Structures are given as C-alpha cells and as structure tokens.
Homo-oligomer: A and B are copies of this chain.
Amino acid sequence: MAMSQLPTLRQLQFIIALAEHGSFSRAAEAVFVTQPTLSAAIKELETILGTVLVERGARGAVLTPAGDAVLERARRVMTEAEDLVIAAQAAGEPLSGPFKLGVIPTIAPFLLPRVLPALRERYPDIELFLREDLTDRLFDALRERRIDAALIALPYDAPMIETHAVWADEFLFAAPPDHPLARNKTLAPSDLTDEPLLLLEDGHCLRDHALAACATGSARADFAATSLHTLVHMVKSGLGATLLPRMAVEAGLVDRMGLEVRPFDPPVVGREIGVAWRKGSARSEEAIQLGDAIRDILQAPDSP
C-alpha cells in the first residue's frame, strides 16, 4: 500500500503554536520563524493531509473542526517525541540532569537527610528537585508530568500509575509511659481493638495504612494531627496512643520526648514504601534505579 506522506514534527509544532496564538504572525514569533515561513509550512501541512485545517480571516486564524482533530493528535505526537528524547538521554546516562522527585510527608523528613548525601555521591550529575505532598497530589503531578517519580506508601491503587517496592517500613506502637499497653514488651495488633488511636488527619496515607494494620482498630474522631511531629506531641500530652513508622523513630522523632515505643510481635505490621511513576513515563527505568539505590543506601552498614 502506498504510504501517504507524513507531516514533519516541525509542521506539527507550527500548527500547535498557531492554535495557541490564534494568529500566523504571533505564532511565528513564538516559534522563532517569520510569518511567511509559518504560512508556507501550514499550507504544506494542509496539502499533505488533504484537508483545510485553518480558517484565515482578517482578525486572525481559527482552526477548522479537522484542524482541531489534528491539533489534539499533534500534541500527542509532540509529547511522545519529547519523551523519546528524554528516555534516550536517560538510557545513555541514567539519573543525571534534573530529576523531580515527590515524597510523601511521612517519609520525607526522615528519609532524605539519611540518603541524600550518599545519593549525590553515587550519582554526582543528578540535580534532584524535591516536592513534599500527599499521595493523591503527587499522583496528579506524575500524570501531568510535573514530577518524574514519587516515593509513596503502598498499597495504593491509582490509574495510569506504576510502582516498584523499595523497602518495608515497620509500624511501632507509641504511647505515654503511663499507658496500660506500655507495660508489654511487644504487642499484637489485636491489643489495639479497644484503643482509639490518635492519627494524622485525612489525606495522609499513613492514617489509612495504620488503620488497616490493626484491622479492628479505630481512630479518635475528635483529634487528628497535621504532621508526625505534632502527632508525637499530642501523644506526649496524653491524648492517646499511635502508630509510628520505624524510619521516623530511627530518625529521632521521639528522642527525649519521654514516650514509650514498642514493636509488634512477628509477623511485623507496617507499610511498603515504593517508587511510583506515570505509566509510559520516559524515566520509569530511572525511577526503579533510584528506588533500588535508596534501598542499597538504607541497608549500608554505616546506616543504622
């Protein structure tokens, strides 16, 4: 079958600019060519496609319905092509250049100080841009290509998102010294059945995962904390007990707070921390590699 001629990416770039600026002259300016150049290119594109894409008027240019259809697909082709470039560059020299990483608030302050130095050492050419936000908002950012990858807690179901497990973050029980359960050396999840837990406010995945860990437990409905630091202060002042990620405790979250911290009996309860990326992302390989690197660093002997 006779392969009908394809448009060039340049032409697609031009018609996108034309649609965005509504005028040949201004669109031409935006893509750094002269108006006749853009004019000719659009005309050529219309010839190739065999369809009029633009209505020329004295007050500017408007896309025809066919033009709109082309525009939408042109945008897709262009972003795919840009992704190809990024993916190729990443494949050639992984984890170099700007890399935008989102991290959920219950991990970021405890993980990053611990791994960032080693990470910079291992990948000297990386420029990490960090963004701390709730899981949902990070997923939105992934889908809209505002970030390249995110460190989040699993399980968490989201369309268009793929994940790779990095490490298991165990939950520890924390309470004031006079709390009845603080007498035990270890706890079973079932001990929490009648213990209303003090948790982070809605939207934090830690809240949901903590509740899931003690299937029968419940949260205090009257109080909720906005950060883990606030949370431990509320626990200290006697408002209730809570579950904390081991990583936060190891990072010193409860140091000199006078709180009792107890592990659970095996099987350990907790959450899985993983990297997430947009399905089809140009940097999915790098996201996995970054996750594995973080795991390595956490397991390194000098890191307690």
Contacts and interface: CB of A to CB of B under 8 A. Distances in A.
Interface in A58-96: 65-66, 69-70, 73-74, 76-77, 80-85, 87-89, 91-93
Interface stretch (A4-12, A123-131, A210-218, A258-266): A4-12
A70 B49 CA distance: 27
Nearest to A84: B73
Contact of A51 (B9, B50, B92): B92
- Size class of the A contact interface (CB-based, 8 Å): 20 to 34
A48 interface: yes
A251 to B, nearest CB: 34
Interface in A12-66: 12, 48-53, 65-66
A53 B6 contact: no
A68 B285 CA distance: 13
A82 B5 CA distance: 9
Interface in A77-121: 77, 80-85, 87-89, 91-93
A68 to B, nearest CB: 8
Contacts of A82: 6
Contact of A81 (B6, B51, B88): B6
Contacts of A84: 7, 12, 70, 73-74, 77
Copies assembled: 2
Contact of A89 (B49, B52, B65, B76): B49
Interface in A259-289: 282, 285
B73 A80 contact: yes
A81 B81 CA distance: 10
A69 B85 contact: no
Given A6-B9, A76-B80, A82-B6, A70 B87 contact: yes
A289 to B, nearest CB: 13
Interface of A: 4, 6-9, 12, 48-53, 65-66, 69-70, 73-74, 76-77, 80-85, 87-89, 91-93, 282, 285
Given A69-B88, A73-B80, 9 more contacts: A4-B85, A6-B82, A7-B81, A49-B89, A50-B93, A65-B91, A66-B91, A73-B282, A77-B81
8 contacts: A6-B82, A6-B85, A7-B84, A7-B85, A48-B85, A66-B88, A66-B91, A70-B84
